[in-house]
Amino acid sequence: MDTAYLQAMIENLPGIVRARINRRGGSIVVEYDGSPESRNKLLDTLRDLPAETYAHADLNGSMAPELADVFLKGALTLASLKTPLEVSAPLSLLLGLPILLKGLDTLFSQGIKVETLDAAAVGLSLARCDFFTANSIVTLLTLGEHLEASSENRSTELLKSLLRPQVEHVWMERGGEEVRVPITQVVVGDRVICGPGDIIPVDGTVADGEASVNQSSITGESVSVHLYPGKEVLSGSVVEEGRMIIRAERVGAETSMARITRYMENSLRMKSASQTHSAELADRLVPVTLALGMAIFLLTGDMTRATAVLTVDYSCAIKLANPVAVKTAMYDAARGGVLVKGAQALDALAAVDTLVLDKTGTLTNGVLNVTDVIPTGKLTPDALLALTAAAEQHYAHPVAHAVVRAAEERGLKLPAMSNVDYIVAHGVSAYVDDERVLAGSLHFLQDDEHVDCSGVSELADRLRREGSNLLYVSRSGILEGVIAFRDDLRPEAPAVLRGLKATGIRRIIVITGDHRDTAQAVIGQLNDVSELHWEMKPEDKSRIVKDLKDEGGGVAFVGDGVNDAPAMITAQVGICMPGGSNLAKEAAMVLLLEDDLDGLLKARQVATHTRMVIDNCFKSAVGFNSIVLLLATLGLLPPVASALLHNLSTVSILGYAALGNRSTARG
């Protein structure tokens, strides 16, 4: 059973303050608000545990020894110096028996592992009646296990603390009155009231009032955000000043915080290739140490020297440093506005050398604005805009939104519309006042629908060179005009791309469905772009990514739309902007939580720095323990000193793994 998952699940139930699972005692200790509802919900959950609870091995491994165990064994070790043989012998055997049994069980079930080494070291000491050394090794092993487990648990709890806002009851507006209800009773459409100090419990839109809100737990941005009617609200944010009524759009398991928590819980189970490789290498070094200890005993007959060698083990530091470093990196990345889905994502992102970006909504703001409305017939600009908006008004596309928004801003009344047909990546066909209206690309109108657009060729060329996108509009087969849009480049884009190049990204490739001239006018401002592909269809994105992967190296794709999901899955690393579709967010391995490109650079920096930290931990573990092993082999270290130095090196390396990333995401 995965007790870490079970604990996280219990602690996220309404009314639960904290939970502790004692596997050795077969019990669960839960602190809750005392309400019958919370108690019943807890019992119902425990009666019917989800399959995920049993589907994975426990993240924390075996039961970690308590600090009291360490003190008890330490006291008994010191006592063995003064107690008579008839007392110290059975006492030492009793202390060492769990390690001996565990070593034998591991030997027969898994082969020669670190537990076998520990058992051999304790067994040799007991065999030569060196009870103080045997007890000292047992105490140091217990202390090491306690510190290692504490380090890993702290990194896990650090991560969970970022994701678990406790909201049990909320105030709502119902029938003109304010009522307090359990959070579990909130449904989509409810009007939730939040005031100073409140954690916002739902995703939604401000319906009334205004407030200053701290979104640092979601976006990593410490500067407060001013929210007012119409602005989007994210669950987990904290109201600092003001009061507002929020119309709930996503509640319970569908809120931003719930999705992020679910991502993190799943990502903690994912092991990277480097983590697996390090663990395998550490396991291969164990038989070498055991063979060296046995060889020294056979050649010299010196059991003390052989025991000292057997206390040195590479495995602990190498195996544990990786998950501790990864969890710390995930925490710091989230604080910096980036959600990284586990060790695999970090590992893959650090290995990326080619970055592919979808232009619209990624390098640009993703908000199109109408800049020119140019009729070619008898319609006025307002009439052309109203005609187009009528055809586009129910189309969920940035161009359609821009047209409709421009018509609303001008206060235009839209004519009646019917028989709408959306043609993906081309445009829209609709009947407006019983006449067929087409609005879309030049290719759609001229090549597919055979509308003569030659009269605006020079005008179109000029607008594209200025960086505008064009929407061609026809009625009853006659071109009625052109509407120009512009999507401005994100102001931080040039600096971010330069920073990415500095981290080792060799190629930056931009893909867009825009016309060549429009794309070049916008991307021409970015000196670090290696390649530009224009007039691309949605299916072309994944094809280009696949071709780049086939060339070798690591490829990351950055996008936000439904059409970007196949490319994200194809790439080694999919990266999604915060405004991306749900499908894109699910497909991505990295989610940017803040609507700018700075998070992309932060994610890359955290990934490369984490790889450096893990490499340093590996080299330190191998280097320091090799020195201790050499000194033990030469007889310069007694077993107790050898065990002490080994455990000190392990704890030091884990401390470095836990602290090595702490400033990266905020740098």
Q: Which residues are catalytic?
A: 358
Do 451 and 469 contact (CB within 8 A), yes or no? no
The single-letter code of the amino acid at 547 is D
Gap between the Cα atoms of 510 and 518, Å rounded: 13
State CA 65 to chain mean position distance. 31
Query: In sequence order, what are the residues at sequence separation of 6 or more whose Cβ sits closer than 8 angstroms to the Cβ of residue 455?
Result: 376, 479
Do 558 and 366 contact (CB within 8 A), yes or no? no
Q: DSSP of 260-326, one letter per residue?
A: HHHHHHHHTTPPPHHHHHHHHHHHHHHHHHHHHHHHHHHHH--HHHHHHHHT--SHHHHHHHHHHHH
CB crowding 283-316: b at 16 or more within 10 Å, else e: bebbeebbebbeebbeeeeebbbbbbbbbbbbbb
Closest CA to 274 of 351, 208, 186: 351
State CA 401 to chain mean position distance. 31
- According to DSSP, the β-strands at 16-22 and 27-32 are antiparallel
Helix pair 3-11, 256-267: axis angle to 10 deg: 170
Query: In sequence order, what are the residues at sequence separation of 6 or more whose Cβ sits closer than 8 angstroms to the Cβ of residue 626?
Result: none
Burial of 527 (0-12, 13-18, 19+ CB in 10 A): exposed
State CA 10 to chain mean position distance. 22
Query: In sequence order, what are the residues at sequence separation of 6 or more whose Cβ sits closer than 8 angstroms to the Cβ of residue 291?
Result: none
Could you tell me the two tokens for 601? 């650079």
Do 520 and 487 contact (CB within 8 A), yes or no? no
Gap between the Cα atoms of 441 and 448, Å rounded: 10
Give, as one character, the DSSP assignment of residue 364: B
Query: In sequence order, what are the residues at sequence separation of 6 or more whose Cβ sits closer than 8 angstroms to the Cβ of residue 453?
Result: 442, 445, 446, 460, 472, 479
Maximum CA pair distance of the chain? Answer: 112
